[in-house]
Amino acid sequence: MEKIAIFPGSFDPFTIGHESIVMRALPLFDKIIVMLGLNHSKKYFFPIEARQQMIEDLFHDEPKIKVETHNGLTIDFCKKHGATYILRGLRTAADFEYERAIAQVNKKMHPAIETVFLLTMPEHTPVNSSVVRDILLHRGDASLFLPLKLDIKNYLRYENE
Amino acid sequence: MEKIAIFPGSFDPFTIGHESIVMRALPLFDKIIVMLGLNHSKKYFFPIEARQQMIEDLFHDEPKIKVETHNGLTIDFCKKHGATYILRGLRTAADFEYERAIAQVNKKMHPAIETVFLLTMPEHTPVNSSVVRDILLHRGDASLFLPLKLDIKNYLRYENE
Amino acid sequence: MEKIAIFPGSFDPFTIGHESIVMRALPLFDKIIVMLGLNHSKKYFFPIEARQQMIEDLFHDEPKIKVETHNGLTIDFCKKHGATYILRGLRTAADFEYERAIAQVNKKMHPAIETVFLLTMPEHTPVNSSVVRDILLHRGDASLFLPLKLDIKNYLRYENE
Amino acid sequence: MEKIAIFPGSFDPFTIGHESIVMRALPLFDKIIVMLGLNHSKKYFFPIEARQQMIEDLFHDEPKIKVETHNGLTIDFCKKHGATYILRGLRTAADFEYERAIAQVNKKMHPAIETVFLLTMPEHTPVNSSVVRDILLHRGDASLFLPLKLDIKNYLRYENE
Amino acid sequence: MEKIAIFPGSFDPFTIGHESIVMRALPLFDKIIVMLGLNHSKKYFFPIEARQQMIEDLFHDEPKIKVETHNGLTIDFCKKHGATYILRGLRTAADFEYERAIAQVNKKMHPAIETVFLLTMPEHTPVNSSVVRDILLHRGDASLFLPLKLDIKNYLRYENE
Amino acid sequence: MEKIAIFPGSFDPFTIGHESIVMRALPLFDKIIVMLGLNHSKKYFFPIEARQQMIEDLFHDEPKIKVETHNGLTIDFCKKHGATYILRGLRTAADFEYERAIAQVNKKMHPAIETVFLLTMPEHTPVNSSVVRDILLHRGDASLFLPLKLDIKNYLRYENE
């Protein structure tokens, strides 16, 4: 059976930490689908098109990695794609408690699903999308916290606020 | 002296975890008043009438349990009802730190008040109102996380968004 | 039905934090039995006789509070005394996780048992028996962390190391 | 070299906990600049003028303490004022994880910066600005959680909601 | 390349939680080696032979699962067996912080290693080997916390204290 | 008044994380005294002479840093040396809760004392003395986790177990 993992998130933007998790998990799976969650009631810094483009550009040379948008429950996306794994990165104890609740609810609703966790690298522990947005909002240089291959300026042209 | 406990919350909606805490605490008190907090600046999934109805229906046969709405400080509600206990459920370490701050502030302002904590059952640990709302929002089946006696569809007709 | 709570611990020694939990929980129960756990493989600072004497002296005027020693599972002690509550104080998030595991295991083994938690007062949060022992070991003054009514010197004469 | 520390926050309002951190850190530094962060997308309880006035009044007699507003990254403010220290108070484990991420990102972007943490006093642990706002919103008495020298009514006249 | 995972621990004894982690991880790997760590300075409840027998009996019908003892660093065991994954279960936030330190040190010393975490099931969260030992020590019934297929009495005959 | 800080610990051994804390705190103080705590009931990996030598060698060129051994309460050492600051590094939330209790007890017993916390660098977060000892015990290479200037083999000759 093909081992398919979903890597769900809003990725506003996709950080160096996200990239590291996906790349390190890649040998474990046959396919990883980055699931860009849509939430119409939330306000994003990067529009959905920019976020999708950013991740597609980043993994352009990795045929095993796909990007898709989804509006709905993560477990419904898993069922639709025949995925039995959800991939998540863990940074802190606070992360852990939040992730545990979501993973246990997903498993309760769809017992065939396993959430698989990798740790962020120590140097990526303080990095999250909110920190990066805050730097970009104040015109700071966030490149230390973004994938090396991405030039964030290419996606900021999409910026709508 | 009558032992009266307040069980405060926004209960949007009242989950299987809330039900378990109230029922397990019942032998300890002479009366438990579920205090449905009103906060006009917050947007709820279930309108206040639906939430109140849901809890009243659930505890219809328990004369020791009452439901009341309140707009104000919890300690003022306690004073008004002669309650000297606040009842709360604890699920996670993150919960604990949040609850501790509130309980210690309440005690500082009204020293006669004790906050009494029970643990959620292990199988209810991942359940909270926000998880349930998210499932309902995406038309999923949340019945696993709601009181067995409640048919949530009866209250969703109240849904205003 | 009589509401009996067990307050289990090794109490080496009984601190100002323990005293506060028992006194504040007293109105909630008909009887509180301080269960002094025996563990022959552990080395204590105060011998069992001194610890028992200390707690008996402290609660001499409280007919609702008893002290007993016990070698065995806490739930067996509860069954023997007809107690359906275990009383515990919570100080920190680390405490919480430890206490949660024990309480959930006790409930799994003996479903009629509820563990009831009160919070320590903010000023008692850093106090625990290990801190007090460390001060006493180095001949420091630990009176700030001990019940006001106890003169610890009366029990140190029992000291055997 | 002059030891300058920045104490950043939104201080909505400045609590007894904030005051304690600044006063206890004072001997360690030559100057402490309270940096009142501006965030135009956030809604505050006290307008910026009231918050600035409150802190200036409080530290009127402390020539080593200044108050300034800032709209931008904290590290840019540090560079502008030649500050090499950021001062923060720690209350809980949840605080700690949040503060650690911010401090480590600041250090990554500006390696000369050290964030120095003091602990809140045990009795101030449950106090934060959000708790105080909640009390004021419901016309409760928050004076126990505010600096003794400040009469909050003088600043509530600025209240705009 | 064969995907081999090590599941290291002292397993004194192997609990229902350990069993669940190994069985749920099994589809993800080609082989899982349960690594029974030896530590001559530690005192165990079950002798090493009993612990090894217990795990072998439990997984007798699973050809993909092996059991081996090891005295040394986990990463040396990984290298010897060509394993590039370490499998661990996560129960609580306290667990998480402990596991994170070990996993990050292992990765620093041997960058090809990934530690993969699964969550314990909610009902197994309070279960750990120490709780089980405590019950057995006091002649209690620990069967609720042990693999269904194992009769612990068969291994207690090995008990040496 | 001279700003003297105590950096207390058992330092078995002194790690790259300890070195980083002391060096980054150095500009803040006039003198830092590394206080090597003696505890005759504890068994150490490195004898006290080796640990003292290691720290003295490391800071040989830093006249502001001293090393002293002490058997007793940390606050008594502070009083003896006229120190009003205790310096500590914080790595994790678990660390934080432990350190907070000690710091608050110290302040209660000796109010003039402030404990000042710096964060470990992200890459040092998983490093602690126990991890290093475990590597050395199994003849592994721990140099990644030890101060660059120290050759641990020079101190292992002191090793007595």
Render pLDDT for C43-55 as a digit per residue (tens, 0 to 9): 899 999 999 999 9
ipTM for the predicted complex: 0.94
Low-confidence spans in chain F with pLDDT less than 50: 158-161
Query: In terms of C-beta distances under 8 Å and separation of at least 24 residues, what long-range contacts does A41-49 make, across chains too?
Result: A42/A10, A43/A161, A44/A10, A44/A12, A45/A12, A45/A13, A45/A133, A45/A136, A45/A137, A45/A159, A45/A161, A46/A12, A46/A13, A46/A155, A46/A156, A46/A158, A46/A159, A47/A158, A47/A159, A47/A160, A49/A158
pLDDT on residue F157: 62
Residue F84: list chain D partners with CB under 8 A. Answer: 27
Is F129 annotated as catalytic? yes
Please name the residues in contact with F91: beta carbons below 8 A apart, sequence gap of 6 or more. Answer: F17, F119, F120, F124, F125, F126, F128
pLDDT on residue A158: 43
Residue F25: list chain D partners with CB under 8 A. Answer: 114
Render pLDDT for E20-54 as a digit per residue (tens, 0 to 9): 999 999 999 999 999 999 987 788 999 999 999 99
User: Is residue B94 less than 8 Å (CB to CB) from chain D?
Assistant: yes
Average model confidence (pLDDT) for chain B?
93
pLDDT on residue C159: 44
Go through chain D and tell me how many residues it has: 161
Which active-site residues of E does the annotation give? 18, 42, 91, 129
Per-residue pLDDT band for D127 (boundaries 50, 70, 90) equals very high
Query: Residue B135 pLDDT more than 70?
Result: yes
pLDDT on residue B156: 85
Query: What are the boundaries of each domain within chain A?
Result: 4-154
Peptide bond between residue D147 and the one before it cis (omega within 30 degrees of 0): no
Per-residue pLDDT band for C157 (boundaries 50, 70, 90) equals low
Mean pLDDT of E58-69: 98
pLDDT on residue E159: 44
For every residue of B41-89, DSSP letters joined together read: TS--SS-HHHHHHHHHHHTTT-TTEEEEEE-S-HHHHHHHHT--EEEEE
Query: Residue A54 pLDDT more than 70?
Result: yes
Q: Cα distance from C140 to chain F (closest Cα, Å)? A: 8
The conformation of residue E135, written as its DSSP 8-state character, comes to H
Query: Residue E161 pLDDT more than 80?
Result: no
User: What is each CA distance from D119 to D17, D22, D88, in whole angstroms?
Assistant: 10, 11, 9
Rounded to 5 degrees, what angle do the CA atoms A65, A67, A68 make?
A: 140
Average model confidence (pLDDT) for chain C?
93
Q: Cα distance from F108 to chain D (closest Cα, Å)? A: 9
Query: Residue C160 pLDDT more than 60?
Result: no
pLDDT on residue B160: 46
Q: List phi, psi (to 5°) of C96.
A: -55, -45
Query: Residue E107 pLDDT more than 50?
Result: yes
User: Is residue D29 less than 8 Å (CB to CB) from chain B?
Assistant: no
Q: List phi, psi (to 5°) of F142.
A: -100, 10
Of the two residues B41 and A38, the one the predictor is more confident about is: A38
User: Is residue C128 less than 8 Å (CB to CB) from chain F?
Assistant: yes
pLDDT on residue E61: 96
State both tokens at B98: 């949040």
Residue B104: list chain C partners with CB under 8 A. Answer: 119, 121-122
Share of chain B above pLDDT 70, in %: 97
Q: Strands of A114-119's sheet, edge to edge? A: A65-70, A31-37, A4-9, A85-90, A114-119, E114-119, E85-90, E4-9, E31-37, E65-70
- D34, amino acid identity: V
Architecture of domain F4-154: 3-Layer(aba) Sandwich (3.40)
Count of H helices and E strands in chain C?
A: 6, 5
Residue B93: list chain A partners with CB under 8 A. Answer: 93, 97
Query: Residue B70 pLDDT more than 70?
Result: yes
CA distance F22 to F26: 6
pLDDT on residue E157: 62
Query: Residue A161 pLDDT more than 70?
Result: no
Share of chain D above pLDDT 70, in %: 97
Of D67, D56, D59, residue with least CA distance to D20: D59
Share of chain B above pLDDT 90, in %: 88
User: Is residue E135 less than 8 Å (CB to CB) from chain C?
Assistant: yes
Which active-site residues of A does the annotation give? 18, 42, 91, 129
Query: Residue C62 pLDDT more than 90?
Result: yes
User: Is residue A125 less than 8 Å (CB to CB) from chain D?
Assistant: yes
Mean pLDDT of C58-86: 97
pLDDT on residue D161: 43
Q: Cα distance from F96 to chain D (closest Cα, Å)? A: 6
Render pLDDT for C95-109 as a digit per residue (tens, 0 to 9): 999 999 999 999 999
D93, D94, D125 ranked by CB distance to C122: nearest: D125
D85, D93, D121 ranked by CB distance to F93: nearest: D93
Mean pLDDT of E94-114: 95
pLDDT on residue A157: 63
